[in-house]
Amino acid sequence: MEKENKLYFHGGLLGAWVPMITFVVIMITAALTGHISLMVFAAGAFVAICTGFILSKDKKEFDNAVIDGVGDHMLATMTVAFIMAGILSQLLRQSGLIQGLIWLSSQLHLNANFLPVITFITCVLISTACGTTGGTCAAVTPIMLPLAVGFGCNPGLIVGAIMSGSIFGDNLAPISDTTIASAMTQETDVSSVVKTRLPYSIISGVGASLLYIYFGFKTLNADAVMTQVDASKAPSLVMLVLPVIMAFLMTKGVGLVSTMLVCNMLGITLNLALGLIPFSTMISADGPVVAGISGMAGLILFCIMLFAVLELTKRSGAFDQLISGIHSKCDTPQKAELASAGMTIFGMIAIAASTANIIIVGPFVRQLTKKFHIARTRGANITDGLSTAFGGIVPYNSSFLLCMSLAAASGVVADTFSFREVLPYCFHSYGLIILYVGSALTGIGRKFENSGASETN
């Protein structure tokens, strides 16, 4: 960075870190007090920017730094991608696809011992199709939890299956905001990220499925048959063609925005043609297009404020100094990946928000992996895999809180029901943690961006 563009703070580099520290402290406080919200986090970023203004020596250069942060190309790309993803997610959800998938799972006619794994697989399909953890929890919990508990299933096991299945797609789906953010922060494309993380998701998902079957039999002795839910939603299953088309287009090298535009236009056409969403609803304020855009407003606002804070830290040179310090300690690819994993885990414990954590930690991880020419997808997968995994087990994560609130509202769990009864059964989260930390330790799956780089553990 040119010297004349450097932003100086009162207190030197320590003063330069104060805005970011202020931001993190506010997020930690909000998380610990149960106020986990992107809007609250955005307000925290505003306070951090105010702090930076007070401490900066050159107010004109401060203005330039804030504007440059908001005008970042990565932020612009993420904003467009988030909007497109929000619309597509709403098109899938409002079509009745969620209810259709639940109905389809009911047609397996398996005894009640299989309800935990059916719940898990249902959530896997929904979250992968829609790319949302909270949406999947909100859709499945009120239906599957009372149904399963009514057959004598362990409620903690069912909620654990819902959380595990919900984060599966959040980690893997091309339209998931965490997938998009992890790809953008590591300067790679979404299709490559999805392709390389698929084996980890499958291995963990298969292991989780087997465990849900085992504990389904271990915790329930009844031999009941699952009843039909709602056959009228079966036509919505045709909407599953959209994720398939998306995957196909991306593998052919079509850009993310273009791919999502095609899927959105096709989704609108299918919904109208099949009568899944009436035209009056499609163009209404509650319809998929408007709801998809407004639903991403909080995330986009948070990203705008966050990039402004990040630019203050970068412009001061504090970011480069931290990276240099970490670099001096990380003299092997193994240490670089372990440091990346450690920062990701610490960030999730601190703020309990997967997308926000990826955006914050991502630039640090990119600098570490770049030093050793580690494949960009590798950094994206470590940050996303561990962020979403911890999102499924940190009790003050917003999706976890939503799921627990819906469980309490269902009236089928005891007043004393808490996260302690759920955590032992979040199998997919634990599987991802074991796989990604183990991979960083052993070097399994590690690839380099040029043939001249050699692996050193």
The arithmetic mean of pLDDT across residues 215-222, rounded, is 80
Of the pLDDT bands very low, low, confident and very high (cuts 50, 70, 90), residue 1 is very low
Domain boundaries, the chain: 71-277+317-442
Chain segment 342-396, per-residue pLDDT in tens: 989 988 887 778 888 898 889 889 988 998 999 999 999 999 999 999 999 988 7
Predicted pLDDT of residue 105: 65
The arithmetic mean of pLDDT across residues 432-446, rounded, is 96
More confident residue, 91 or 434: 434
pTM over 0.75: no
Work out the mean pLDDT of the chain and round it to a whole number: 86
Predicted pLDDT of residue 251: 60
Tell me which residue has tokens 């508990």.
149
Of the pLDDT bands very low, low, confident and very high (cuts 50, 70, 90), residue 129 is confident
Q: Is the pLDDT of residue 341 over 90?
A: yes
Of the pLDDT bands very low, low, confident and very high (cuts 50, 70, 90), residue 178 is very high
Alpha helix stretches (DSSP H) within 173-317: 177-185, 190-218, 241-251, 256-273, 279-282, 288-295, 297-316
User: CB 124: neighbour CB atoms within 10 A?
Assistant: 25
Chain segment 181-197, per-residue pLDDT in tens: 999 999 999 999 999 99
* CA dist 5 → 36, 58, 63, 64 (Å): 35, 10, 11, 9
Chain segment 39-55, per-residue pLDDT in tens: 888 899 999 999 999 99
The arithmetic mean of pLDDT across residues 210-217, rounded, is 96
| C-alpha radius of gyration, the chain, whole number | 22
DSSP 3-state assignment of 219?
coil
Q: Is the pLDDT of residue 455 over 50?
A: no
Distance CA 299, CA 37 (A): 9
Distance CA 247, CA 71 (A): 30
Of the pLDDT bands very low, low, confident and very high (cuts 50, 70, 90), residue 27 is confident
In what helix (H) or strand (E) does residue 399 lie, and over which residues does it extend? Answer: helix 398-410
Handedness of CA 171, 173, 177, 182 (dihedral sign): positive
Predicted pLDDT of residue 221: 56
Predicted pLDDT of residue 222: 54
Q: Is the pLDDT of residue 138 over 50?
A: yes
Q: Is the pLDDT of residue 249 over 60?
A: yes
Chain segment 95-107, per-residue pLDDT in tens: 887 678 777 766 7
More confident residue, 237 or 230: 237
Tell me which residue has tokens 């692996």.
455
| DSSP track, 345-368 | HHHHHHH--HHHHHHHHHHHHHHH
Q: Is the pLDDT of residue 304 over 50?
A: yes
Predicted pLDDT of residue 295: 81
Distance CA 313, CA 18 (A): 9
